[in-house]
């Protein structure tokens, strides 16, 4: 089992390094974090998803708190 985790760790490390190289090349070729965020938001509506999950979390916490009959 220890050998299996070592293989998984090696694969994850290689993927992280590959991602870092890709981000570095992106910055060297003129990439901008704001442009990436704008593109992702335009394609996947990340701000809408964030708002929906935030509203869901507020509702869950409210229901939990209202279920606790304090006092």
State the average pLDDT over residues 34-55: 89
Q: Are 40 and 34 in contact (CB under 8 A)?
A: no
State the pLDDT at residue 69: 66
State the average pLDDT over residues 25-41: 85
**Rounded-to-integer distance, Cα 8 and Cα 55, Å:** 36
Q: Where do the domains of the chain lie?
A: 1-31, 33-71
State the pLDDT at residue 65: 87
């Amino acid at each position: 089992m220890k050998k299996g985790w070592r293989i998984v760790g090696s694969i994850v490390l290689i993927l992280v390094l590959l991602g870092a190289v890709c981000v570095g090349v992106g910055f060297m070729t003129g990439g901008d974090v704001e442009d990436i965020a704008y593109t992702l938001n335009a394609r996947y509506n990340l701000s809408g998803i964030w708002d929906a999950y935030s509203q869901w979390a507020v509702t869950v916490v409210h229901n939990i708190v209202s279920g606790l009959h304090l006092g």
